[in-house]
Amino acid sequence: MFSQLRMREEQALLAQDYALEQVEEKGLKKGLVNLVRQGLLTSEVASQQLNMTVDEFEALL
């Protein structure tokens, strides 16, 4: 009983961590897209930050 409860708690924490990572990644993408649109950053640099090709990044623009 106790071990099942502990396992559920750990699964809930892992799910929260994953959700936070996804939000952070989306925020980073939006921020980099905005910087490129403003001409403050190149697509090449932004794509490197996201581990994408330039073509993949430019598809976000």
Q: What is the per-residue pLDDT for 31?
A: 93
pTM of the model: 0.71
Q: What is the pLDDT of residue 1?
A: 67
Determine the residue type at 49: Q
Residue 19's pLDDT is 82
Residue 36: burial class (beta carbons within 10 Å; 0-12, 13-18, 19+): buried
Rounded-to-integer distance, Cα 58 and Cα 24, Å: 20
Residues of the chain under the 50 pLDDT cut: none
Using CA atoms, how far residue 5 sits from 27, 34, 39, in Å, is: 33, 44, 51
Handedness of CA 11, 13, 14, 20 (dihedral sign): positive
What integer pLDDT is reported at residue 2 of this predicted model?
Answer: 74
